[in-house]
């Protein structure tokens, strides 16, 4: 059987070099390098695993395919994944939310460079609204309850993002784009290294007027990584990923309320890894995560600050060829500033997870985690699952069961009097338990993969708002609802021929509030995303995409379904220069993802990228 994974003794640095800058639109990689990168997934166990024997459902987004399809924003990339629904407040730069398998937006966890990126008090909505794909070499979507490996907020799943690694001969790119709605964008990247040292750096800027009055967006994204194998088996490094946005918020068309949003998101990490032999690896990561949010309107200001200091320790022991154990501990200190008030929380966590392979191509997983919060108490989560790969037919059968929770935010527990939010010292975390069962089949000599998964998740103690004074509209967050979600996911992707690529993702979702019987808001019953892309000549390629969203409910009403079409083409001019053209919403459909926030109409964009 072909060896898909790097050997343990090779170390993380050399694994990273094998995956040099997989995602940056700026870097050209060989087909062999691309295959090496896509040959393993990390999020399912926090260690590299063969995707064919991973019990959990994991989608690894190909950055090469996203580049070829001219998908440059993180939110658009995530919307291609089965089971995932992305909701935007109308335009580029506005708040965005991700729903995975019906889980609410704050029940989905982003893990960036190994660090939990969001909490109830520090959400990702503004970050996602302006984030692009620059400086990224891995995006994975891990679905289902994942509290055991990642702690709070992983009820629906986890989105893992890694900053690009660099090694070898220096390479980079310069790019620019212009188009409808006064859109201009520019990007630059550089990466390389020596035998032991690797580095990468990227920066990008986008500005657009969008389509509505007072709706201009200005976004900056930047990232860097440097790491050095200072001795045999010893790796040290640091990363930085930042995003700054300035967004004119026009408010909804139903209740216009103009305001200026300024937000910043910065994540610094530094890490050291020791691998004394091929069977054991220990890694310590220290991180600082800071978010700023300022909203200025005629009625006043709203200011949010969140600072988190994290220390993460992970150990991997390959006890034998059949047993891998992952154990770790996490310490976190957070400070939340809102409405003139300051609250603190301290988290300590420990987990143990094991992967067992009793026979060839059979994997069994199990794990437990304990989280202790100074603000509300503790939570214990667990998971188990199994996957079996039938090599003779190219079939994978997988199933998992897991539990998860979402901790209340500082504002939920301690209140924010300036907002009219009262404290609730008895609030409990949200909890979930869920299972899934899936089959994956390789066809056409391994060029195309078909997948189908059934899932069900049960939620309890869901957060809800309770108004206590209907004159001042003061209220508090309480535990009130129960909910249940069930659904089906189907996927197909691969190269039908050497020149033709196709991709299809479909999700059916039935989500209910078990207390009222009503559908959960902003969860479409059906979502489909498809793409067909072909290489017409060695230099010219073109393609088209279709995105379908079914009917859904929203706060204050319901929304009908819609369909959008996009087309794109590019031409290699030689000397590393590529010219591209894309059209979004080709049929100029009028629709809203959130009531009162019209989506962008027909738009055309042209770009030029030079890779060197």
Map out the domains of the chain with their CATH numbers: 8-611 (2.40.170.20)
CA dist 320 and 400 (Å) reads: 24
Q: Which residue has the tokens 């004119």?
A: 248
CA dist 467 and 507 (Å) reads: 35
- Characterise 305 by phi-psi region: left (phi > 0), alpha (psi -120 to 50), beta (else): beta
Confirm if 128 and 98 have CB atoms less than 8 A apart: yes
274 contact partners, CB below 8 Å, separation of at least 6: 233, 234, 281, 282, 283
Instruction: List, in sequence order, every beta strand (DSSP E) within 339-419.
Output: 341-356, 362-373, 377-390, 395-406
Tell me the angle at which helices 11-18 and 31-38 cross, rounded to the nearest 10 degrees: 130
3-class secondary-structure state, position 17: helix
- Mean pLDDT of the chain, nearest integer: 93
Confirm if 150 and 111 have CB atoms less than 8 A apart: yes
- CA separation, residue 504 to residues 9, 371, 493, 540, 563 (Å): 38, 38, 6, 23, 15
Question: What does the block give as tokens for 413?
Answer: 């527990």
Task: Point out the residues of the chain with pLDDT beneath 70.
Answer: 1-38
CA dist 350 and 218 (Å) reads: 40
Number of Cα atoms under 13 Å in the Cβ half of residue 132: 28
CA dist 253 and 479 (Å) reads: 32
- CA separation, residue 90 to residues 80, 209, 304, 553 (Å): 18, 13, 23, 16
Confirm if 262 and 294 have CB atoms less than 8 A apart: yes
**Other residues' Cβ atoms within 10 Å of the Cβ of residue 32:** 9
32 contact partners, CB below 8 Å, separation of at least 6: none
Which contacts (CB < 8 Å, 24+ apart) does range 255-260 have?
255/596, 257/297, 257/299, 258/214, 258/297, 258/298, 259/295, 259/296, 259/297, 259/298, 260/295, 260/296, 260/297
Say what the pTM is: 0.93
Torsion of CA 273, 274, 278, 279, to 10 degrees: -90
Instruction: List, in sequence order, every beta strand (DSSP E) within 11-83.
Output: 58-60
Q: What backbone phi and psi angles, to 5 degrees, belong to 63?
A: -70, -30
CA dist 6 and 37 (Å) reads: 10
The H or E element spanning position 150 is helix 147-150
Burial-class residue 588 by CB neighbours within 10 Å (0-12, 13-18, 19+).
Answer: exposed
DSSP assignment letter at 28: -
Confirm if 209 and 216 have CB atoms less than 8 A apart: yes
Q: What backbone phi and psi angles, to 5 degrees, belong to 12?
A: -65, -30
| pLDDT value, residue 357 | 97
359 contact partners, CB below 8 Å, separation of at least 6: none
195 contact partners, CB below 8 Å, separation of at least 6: none
CA dist 27 and 170 (Å) reads: 10
DSSP assignment letter at 73: B
- CA separation, residue 347 to residues 113, 151, 370, 461, 478 (Å): 19, 10, 10, 21, 22
249 contact partners, CB below 8 Å, separation of at least 6: 94, 215, 257, 258, 259, 260, 261, 295
3-class secondary-structure state, position 188: strand
Q: What backbone phi and psi angles, to 5 degrees, belong to 168?
A: 80, -160
**Other residues' Cβ atoms within 10 Å of the Cβ of residue 232:** 9
β-pair partners for 301: 296
CA dist 594 and 598 (Å) reads: 8
- CA separation, residue 309 to residues 264, 306, 345, 370, 543 (Å): 17, 10, 11, 19, 45
| pLDDT value, residue 33 | 41
Sign for the pseudo-dihedral over CA of 354, 359, 363, 368: negative
Question: What does the block give as tokens for 571?
Answer: 């031409």
């Amino acid at each position: 059987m072909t060896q898909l994974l790097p050997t343990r003794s090779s170390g993380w640095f050399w694994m990273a070099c094998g995956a040099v800058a997989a995602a940056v639109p700026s870097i050209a990689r060989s087909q062999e390098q691309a295959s090496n990168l896509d040959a393993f997934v990390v999020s399912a166990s926090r260690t590299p695993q063969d995707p064919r024997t991973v019990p959990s459902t994991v989608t690894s987004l190909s950055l090469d395919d996203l580049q070829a399809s001219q998908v440059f924003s993180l939110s658009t990339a995530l919307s291609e994944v089965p089971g995932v629904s992305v909701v935007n407040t109308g335009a580029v730069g506005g708040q965005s939310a991700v729903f995975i398998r019906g889980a609410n937006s704050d029940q989905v966890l982003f893990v960036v460079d190994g660090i939990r990126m969001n909490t109830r008090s520090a959400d990702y909505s503004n970050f996602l609204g302006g984030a692009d794909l620059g400086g990224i070499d891995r995006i994975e979507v891990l679905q289902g309850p994942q509290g055991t490996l990642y702690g709070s907020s992983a009820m629906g799943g986890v989105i893992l993002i890694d900053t690009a690694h660099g090694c070898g001969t220096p390479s980079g790119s310069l790019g620019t784009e212009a188009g409808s709605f006064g859109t201009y964008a520019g990007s630059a990247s550089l990466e390389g290294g020596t035998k032991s040292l690797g580095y990468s750096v990227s920066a990008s800027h986008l500005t657009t007027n969008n389509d509505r009055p007072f709706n201009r967006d200005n976004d900056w994204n930047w990232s860097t990584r440097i790491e050095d194998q200072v001795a045999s088996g010893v790796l040290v490094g640091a990363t930085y990923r930042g995003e700054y946005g300035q967004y004119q918020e026009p408010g909804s068309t139903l209740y216009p309320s103009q305001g200026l949003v300024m937000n910043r998101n910065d994540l610094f990490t530094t890490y050291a890894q020791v691998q004394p032999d091929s069977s054991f690896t220990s890694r310590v990561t220290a991180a600082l995560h800071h978010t700023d949010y300022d909203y200025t309107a005629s009625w006043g200001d709203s200011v949010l600050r969140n600072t988190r200091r994290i220390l993460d320790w992970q150990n991997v022991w390959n006890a034998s060829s059949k047993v891998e154990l992952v154990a770790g501990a996490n310490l976190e200190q957070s400070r939340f500033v809102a409405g003139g008030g300051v609250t603190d929380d301290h988290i300590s966590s420990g987990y143990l997870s094991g992967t067992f392979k009793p026979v060839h191509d059979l994997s069994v997983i199990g794990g437990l985690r304990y989280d202790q919060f100074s603000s509300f108490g503790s939570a214990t989560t667990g998971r188990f699952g199994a996957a079996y790969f039938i090599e003779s037919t190219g079939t994978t059968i997988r199933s998992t069961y897991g539990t998860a929770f979402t901790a209340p935010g500082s504002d939920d527990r301690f209140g924010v009097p300036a907002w009219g939010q009262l404290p609730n010292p008895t609030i409990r975390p949200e909890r979930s338990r869920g299972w899934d069962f899936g089959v994956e089949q390789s066809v056409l000599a391994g060029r195309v993969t078909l997948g189908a998964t059934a899932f069900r998740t049960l939620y309890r103690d869901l957060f809800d708002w309770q108004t206590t004074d209907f004159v001042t509209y003061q209220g508090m967050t309480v535990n009130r609802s129960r909910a249940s979600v069930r659904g089906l996911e189907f996927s197909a992707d691969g190269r039908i021929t050497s020149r033709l690529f196709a991709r299809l993702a479909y999700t059916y979702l039935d989500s209910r509030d078990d207390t009222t019987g009503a559908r959960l808001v902003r969860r479409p019953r059906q979502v489909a995303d498809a793409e067909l892309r072909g290489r017409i000549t060695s230099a010219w390629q073109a393609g088209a995409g279709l995105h379908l969203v079914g009917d859904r409910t929203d706060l204050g009403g319901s929304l009908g379904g819609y369909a959008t079409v996009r087309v794109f083409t590019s031409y290699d001019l030689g000397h590393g220069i590529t010219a591209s053209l894309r059209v979004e919403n080709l049929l100029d459909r009028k629709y809203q993802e959130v009531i009162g926030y019209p989506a962008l109409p027909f738009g055309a964009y042209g770009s030029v990228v030079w890779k060197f």
